[in-house]
Each structure stands twice: as C-alpha cells, then as structure tokens.
Amino acid sequence: MTGEASPTGNGTPPMGARRMSSAAEDQMRIDIADNLDDNILSWFKKRNGDTLKGALAFVPWVLQQTYFEGGMVNNKVVIHEGKGAVVFSDASGFTALTERLAKKSDGAELLSHCLTSFFTPLIDIINAYRGDVIKFSGDALTIYFQAVDDTKSSKYNHVVPPHGTWGLPDLGPMATAVLRASACCIEIHKRLHMFDTGVDNVKLCLHIGVGCGEVHILQVGGVVPPETKSPRYEYIIAGPPLEQISIAEPLAKNGETCLSPQAWDYVKACVVEGPPLEERRDFHLLLRMDESKYTFPTIKHAAMENDDRSEKQFKMTHLPIIRRYIPSAVYKQIECGTLTYVNEMRNISVIFISGSGLDPMSKQGPGIAQELMASVQNYCYQHEGTLNKFLIDDKGMLFLLVFGLPPLVHTDDPTRAVLACFDMVKVFKRLQLIGKFGVTTGRNYCGVCGSARRMEYTVLGDSVNLAARLMANAPPLGIYCDAQTKIRSTTEIIFNALAPIKVKGKANPISIFQPVKKEVNTAIGLTINGKISFPWHQNAFGGVSAGGLSVGEFQEGVIRLCSIKTWTGILEANRILNCTSFRKEIHSDQALQMPQKGQPPAKGPFKTGGVIVVEGPTGIGKIEIAEHMVTHAAVTFRTFPVFGTMGPRPGDSVRLGCELLRSTIGVFRWSKAGSGLPDDDFEALKQLVPQKNAGRLPLLQQVLVKDKADLSKERSKELLDVSLNVAIELLTQFAEMESVVMVMQFEYGTSLFPKNSEDQNIFWETITILYENFIKNPSKTSKPRVMMLVCRESNAKNPAVAHAAKDIEIVKEGKEDIQKSALVKMSGLDEANLAEYMSSYLNLPDSDQNLIPSPLRYFVIQVTSGNPLYTRETIDQLREHHIQVNQGAGGQVRNVECKDIDKVNVSHWGHTAMVGNTVCLIEALDPLEAAVLKMSTCFAGPFTLGDLAASTCSRWAEATYFDFLRLFQAIRKLVVLEIIDRVDAPQDDLRAETAAQSPNARYIQYFQTQSVLIRSVGGAMVLEAQKKSVKRQALIDRALSRELPAKMAILAIKRSAQHIPWYYEQAFRRML
C-alpha cells in the first residue's frame, strides 16, 4: 500500500519480540540504576514521571487497551473493532468567547482558564461513567462508551448488576453502555448548562447526540514530520454510530440530548422521553432517567466500581509509543514542564478539507484511508505545516491543517497553505475522491483544550470557523480563500475574486477568492529574443517573492552591489573570472552580444573547466554574483549557460529536469548546429534526440508539460533520470563545439528544516550524477565545461563541492600569499562597503558616503550585520519617519537628515524578511532554548548561567546540578548557532573579582546577546512584568552569592561552638 507505515513504526518490533527486547532493556536499566546516586535516580524518576503523566492525557483509553491486546502489529490500520455508544457533545458560546478574548493582551491566559474551568468537570463526569474522549473537535467532544461485559471483570462484586440497581436483571453490555451514556448526558446538562465563563456575560451550554452500534478505531499516517524523528499517527473512530449522531446532534437544542432510533431501542424502558421531534419522529429527546428503576448516581457508582481500564495503562517505557499521537512541540513542552506556555493567541493559516467517496467500514476503505492520510501528511510536512485533526462522519472525512504553529513558523505561511492545497487536490484526484478546501488566515487561540486527565492541542477562533464555512461552500476539488489569505500571500499565487457569500455566524456576506498558481515563464536560459532568462527572476526566494520585481530591477540590483570595488564578493568573482573590474554595461535589458569567437581567461575554471560554488545566507548577494559571472562569461568567453534549479517550494525535482532540458535546447538554438530548430521545445527536442533514444520522447514530453499531475516518488525519479540522461548526452555533444556553464541552484526559501527534506537529497544526488558524467572527465577535444553551484550551505561530502574546494589558487594579498579556492563563501558588507551601498541605494550623487550621518551608518550595520537585503529593507523602513534626503534649489542633494534613530523599534517590522526570518528562527528553537534566549534579552550587558538559573532553577530553591546542566546545554546550543556570544567579564562585576581572589573558585563564563536584531525581536516576545522578574531574580541571586556564603560560614562557626542556654547558665551560677 502506497505510503502505509507500520503502526509500530519508530522501530518497535512485533509484540513477542517487543517483550523480549523490553526484558533485556529493563535489565540494562537496572544495571545502570545500581551505579547511580539516589539523588540522580530520584531526579530522573520525577522528571520522567511528570512527562508520563502529562503525555497520558493526550491518549484515549481505547488506544492503550488496543496496544496491550496486540492490536497495533502487522501494519494493521483497523486496530479496534467493538461495539458501544458514541456521544457527540457540542458547546455553544465558544465562538463569541474566543472573538472577545482575541482582542485582549492576556486573551490566551483568560481563554485557557475558561477552557480548563469548563472541560475539567465535563471530562471528570465522562470518565466517571467510563466514557472515553476520542476526539476534540474544537469545542466539541466525541466520546466512546465501549460495550464491555462487566460481569466477567475481576472487580465485579456479583451482587449489584453493572447498571447499578440491585434487584433488576443485567441489561447486557450494549444496553449498559447506552444507559451509561444517557445518564452521563443528563448529569452534564444538570451541572454545566449555562456555564458562566466570567467574560462579558458569555455563557456556555451543550447540545448532545447519542448513537450506538459497531465501532472501528483506525490508526493511519506514520509519516515523520520535519521537526522530529518520531512518526505521527492519527486515530479516528468510524462506524454507523457516527452517522446516527450527525443527525441526532443538530436535532438537539441547547441543554438537550437526542438519541438515535438504535440507541433508543436499548434504553426506552429505562428513561423518560422528552417532547417529540416533529421533523424526525424516529429520533428521541432524552428528558430524564426513569428514577423508579435507575438513577444517574447509582449508574455512575457502578461504572466506577467496575472500571478496570487502569490495568492497561501505558507506563514509562511506552513514552515512544505515546509521543506518536502528540505534536512534537507540545511533547517538548511536556518534557520541560512548561505545557502552559503553548497556550497563546497567534496568527495562523488554517486549511479545512472535506473528503467524500470513502467508506472506512468497507473492505478496501481502511487501506484507502491510510494512503490518503499518508499523502496528506507528506504534502503538509513538505510545506512545513501541522496536521491537527482527522475525523470521519456521515459526510465523509474532515482534515484540519494549520500553518504557523511553533516550531514551524514562516513569514509566508498563507502561501504555504494554499500551495499545499494545490498538491492535495492532486491526491484526491488520484484516489478518485471528492475534496473541498477552505483556507483562512487570522489570529486564533492555539493551545491545549481539556483537563489534566484528557486534553488535545487545538486551534479555536473566528478564522478557524470561517475556514470550515468556506470548505462547505467550495465546489468539488475547489479551493476557497478569505481576504486575509489573499493579502498576506506572495505573488506566486493569483487570487480570482468570486461573488461574496453568506455564511453562518456572519452578519454580512464574506469576500471569497479562488487561488490559481501563477504561470511561470517557460523560457529558461538563452531565449529566442537573445536574452538570458535567469530562473531566479521568477521564483520566490528568502521569504519574499521575486515575482514582484522586473528584470530591469534585478539587473539594477546586480549593478548596485557589484559596483562596490572592495566588496569581497566581487573581488572573488573577478578572481575566478580572471578580470580586473566589474563591467556594468553588460547588465542591461538588451539582447546579449556574444562574440563570434570567445576569449577564454588565462586561468581558472572558465579556462580549464571545473566547479564553482557560491554559498551564503539569504540576501547576502549570491544571486547577484552568480548572475554577473554567467553574463560576463557569456559576453567575454562565449560560454553558453544552462540552468537547473530546485526550490524554494517542495517537490521540484521534475522542474529541475525540465529547466535543464529547456535551457539545453536554448543553447542549441543559438549555435550554428541548432539553426532552424522550431520554437516549440518538444518539437525541437524531437529533432535533437538521437533515434536510439526516440523511445524516451513520451517521458520527455511529460517533463516539459506545464501542469503536472500528482506524481509518485517513483514516477518523479523516473522523469528526472531520463531528463538528466538526455541533457548530459546533448550537452556532451554541444561541448565539443562551445564552452558551457551549468548553473545549479538549490533554494529552500523560509523552510526551517531543509536537511530533513527529500528535495535536498535529490538535489545533491543530481549534482553527483552531472559531475561524474559531464564535468569530471571531459574529452580531450571538449571546450571548457563549468558547473556553478548556488546554495546557502554546500554539501562538503559531495564530489563536485570537494572539486571546488581543492581547486586551489595562490593569490598575492599585500606581502602574503593566500590560498583561494573556487568555493566562495559569501559574507556581509563591512562598514565602508555598507556606507557605499547605502549611498547608492539612497541615490546620492556619486554614491557619496560622506553625506550619510554616522548614527544612521552605525544603526544599519548593527541591525543588518552587513546583509544587503536587510540593508535595503532597513532603509525602506527608515525612509517613512527617520530619514530625509534634503535637496537644494537645483535638485542637488545637500544632505541626509537622520532623526530619532534611537527610538526605532525594529521588532515592529514583521513584514520584512529580516525581522520575519528572525522570528521564525526563535520560534524554531526548542522550548528551553527559546526561554533562555528571551531571558537573555532582559540583560543590557553580560550575564552568567547563574543569572538565568535564578528565574528557572535557583540554587536556593532546591534545584539540582541536572537542572543547571540542562540550562547550560541550552546556552551552549545558542552559542553554536551564533545567537548568543561568549564575552569577557565586565570590569565592574564583583563576582569575577571574587573568583580571581579565591583559589578554589571556578571560572565564571559570561554571555551576551550582541545582535541588535535578535535582541529587539526576542525582547519583544517578553512581557514587561517578565523582564522585571528576570532582572530582580538575577540581582537577588548575585547578592546572595556575594554575601550569603560568608554569613553562612559565620553561622556554621557559631553552631559548632558549645552553646549553653541562658537559663542553664543562671542555674549553674546559683549552684556555685
């Protein structure tokens, strides 16, 4: 089955083998434990015990029971088959509550408190009746009352029947389950109807539907998310009761419970019916129990007495199993003991998907459900989103996907959500299912919902509800988006406005849009009109869309940056090109003027062939340098460019093959050998491909087609392989006549976990193939063959990269001979270069640096660290209120005025790539690392481990060395990531002076968050009250560390001296 993963994924073998290995592991743990100190053991036991307690709340009882009964082996999708009652409880009032609290600064805390106050008694009641909360659907619950024969339980007393009324006969497992469900609903209404939230007079109430019959629990998925190594599974409940409650629940009004005909047949002699339902007389309202026979207290007491579910509860060794069902970010917070920190109001993009055409109860249904889930997970994770919910009811399947939840936070989450929908539409087409999609963006509550006994991570809010409404109104295989998604998306997507629609919960019609992928220019490389079409002119990168810039603006950017004569980037490019200066005249929007006969350089890759690598972070100037080198080589050396790029969006391997083919055809058109080739690329390819490869033409046609269907991994690999083979063959033939530069680019945009993506592996495998078969061993008659790699981080183990690193050249710099290779690591502009770049961007005459005020120059270098993209963004933001270019009467620039530069709050520039990428970097950190970074921004100067520990694990509050070690590890990780810096001790810090004087004192390491950008953005995430608390605790800790030891020593001396109470002294004196 495609995409099916074993429900024992994560390396867990079948049950028998699991028990054997578990015994060996247990013995190993015992051996280790025997050699550990009791304090260490107690610390680990407490920490793991707290983790287990928190994690168990995310797993329903039936999953634990199924695991111990061996239901999760042999790739089973249907892990539980049983009978029982199913209850769907929906709360009214949460939408109004969420909307009101979303506007408050402490809205997340207030909403979390309301949710806990409401769901804690609700779940306690459900649990008392042996109900099992299977799913949270926003503010609704799906509850399973399993039909179990309690008379066979070890806890059964053989006196009182399982229903709780002595003297009445046993009703049987199914009737007892429905009776318990009915009694549970009655008590819920009695205790929680019109629940007062304490917020603006908002009250909550429930309406409930009850059904019964055969129940299946399916476990589907098993795909590993990008931010973890543990596979994620979703469990769903399916069966006839789901169809029944989908009818029953809407028939019930607030404070009412409606039973399906099937459920009513089991309990009609046990309860009193409410008013008849005119629209569906076969469904029945539940009024109360027939108290002459049964009461809900006695039913509840009997259920609790016979409840043996705790006998099959996960233990510490099952944590790897439990974490399959918990989002990785939530599990990390559980481990750190900071689960309450996940509750927050945040901007997210939400996708609701409705799928129909699948019956999970049929023979083929579970297999299709698994394939569908695995495919949806794959595309969701490729775009770095989170799959939050998967449900099944009578209307089909319901998926809830969220983009923007930590740690997967991006500046382009709305775009990612819509692009994921495009991919998933192809999945539904392939599986011949009907899918409808609704996408919205807005501020919502994101956090845990439930109680300490049972909870789930969910999202609640107005835009979440709106996504469900748009989904319901969308046509089959259609996507509807709201206005916010349109506004916040990049130019990769075109949004067509549709007629506004009226939806439930909204007074006015809602504007809706239908997204369409923007068609990219298929002309790559040398075009028919005599220009070079670079792929980065049309593909988004670095969190912004390049589609908003014209070719002329790109060329202007190349000229502006490469004109800085002392910039290391252009110096390296000139060295490789073996030229002395930058020629800006070659970067124009005119047709390319290639010489009839090229003049190759005296040395370097463009003379002998080889590999050039240009690497560096986003916005550092890689693209500008690559574009200049390719253009210069074309107009000077007559080197023909071909291109192959991947990214920044996932699944672009076939695009890489397509670009290689199209650009290869382009160079043939320009050469004498290709004169007369037709304009259509496929028709041209048919003339170029040798007859022996004519059988590959159908595959090549599929590569060149614009709108590609949902391709399996195997099919994509086949198309890429055939593209590479044909491109290598044609280019080998072409290189006998002309020199070639093959430009290969990998860009992952705003993705946070590119190393975990398949695309990166595919790209470097492709580079190896091209290097081994085209670059490495050219023929003696071949013209120079050059490969240029453009990426953020190169793969040092790749043979092409290794070739570039070994291509050493001795360069004279002053009096020293420096070894330089063809591997160019880009770095930012230094202060002098930055001033020149700023003056050019501000259009100052002759790029006069002297016109730029020193405070402005210092501010920009501190914030941007010399990054050209960040520099442009900073100047654009400052131009609004802080920079003014003053001109004279003749339009001549007199000076640049800079005002209030010290009052600029960089964290408010969230729409820029600079701040947006910094926010994403912080959000992607582990919980403890993020907490350390945020605390570090509270200190204006250097700080120590003890300063941070004072707020989290103070030595004066029974903290252990392990707590300090975890904190130190987090600091060390941030130092490695160059987010926090090691610094020298400040001169006015008495702790350093004391440590220097004491022979037994340990060396104190100081740290500081020196990046102005990170300090500003990270500091904005900390409340003022929290900042004061961190500083206060650090000051107290410093005072105690300085003064308390001496005082404790004095106290110890006093205690060691013999002490006679005063009244004894007086007695002794009288005796004397």
The full DSSP string for 133-167 is EEEEETTEEEEEEE---GGGSTT--SSS-TTS-TT
pLDDT reported for residue 995 = 55
Per-residue pLDDT, 19 = 37
Q: Strand, coil or helix: what is 214?
A: strand
Radius of gyration of the chain (CA): 34
What's at 483, amino acid-wise?
A
Taking the C-alpha atoms of residue 981 and residue 958, their distance in angstroms, rounded to an integer, is 29
From the list 167, 181, 92, the residue with the least C-alpha distance to 131 is 181
Q: How far apart are CA 840 and CA 561, in angstroms?
A: 9
Nearest to 823 by CA among 621, 622, 612: 612
pLDDT, residue 395, reads: 66
Instruction: Tell me the C-alpha distance between 824 and 826, whole Å.
Output: 6
Low-confidence ranges of the chain (pLDDT < 50): 1-22, 28, 540, 542-547
Burial of 18 (0-12, 13-18, 19+ CB in 10 A): middle
Question: Is there a contact between 910 and 1013 (Cβ–Cβ < 8 Å)?
Answer: no
Q: Which residues contact 158 (CB under 8 A, 6 or more apart)?
A: 151
Contact 37, 281 (CB under 8 A): no
Measured between alpha carbons, how far is 161 from 171 in angstroms, rounded to an integer?
8
Instruction: Return the pLDDT at 96.
Output: 79
Which pTM value belongs to this model? 0.86
List Cβ neighbours of 336 (8 Å cut-off, separation of 6 or more). 927, 928
| Side chain identity at residue 12, one-letter code | T
Q: Which two tokens stand for residue 899?
A: 């005002």
The H or E element that residue 108 is part of is: helix 107-128
The token duo for 820 is: 């330089």
Q: What is the pLDDT of residue 692?
A: 82
Residue 518, pLDDT score: 83
Distances (CA, A) of 1025 to 107, 938, 952, 1029, 1030: 16, 11, 15, 6, 9
One-character DSSP codes across 541-583: BTTB-GGGS-HHHHHHHHHHHHT-TT-HHHHHHHHHHT-SS--
Q: Are 757 and 226 in contact (CB under 8 A)?
A: yes
Query: Cβ(562)–Cβ(614) under 8 Å?
Result: no
Q: Please, which residues have CB within 8 angstroms of residue 163's CB and are 6 or more apart in sequence?
A: 170, 171, 176, 179, 294, 299, 302
Q: How many residues are there in the chain?
A: 1072
What pLDDT shows up at residue 548? 59
- Residue located via tokens 């705790």: 310
* pLDDT at res. 597: 81
The backbone torsions φ and ψ at residue 831, rounded to the nearest 5 degrees and listed phi first, read -60, -40
- Structure tokens of 758? 């398949």
Cα 57 from Cα 452, distance rounded (Å): 6
CA distances from 876 to 445, 488, 556, 620, 836 (A): 33, 19, 17, 17, 16
Distance CA 953, CA 964 (A): 7
Examine residue 648 and say whether the peptide bond preceding it is cis (omega within 30 degrees of 0): yes
> How many Cα atoms are found within 13 Å in the side-chain-facing hemisphere of 347?
16
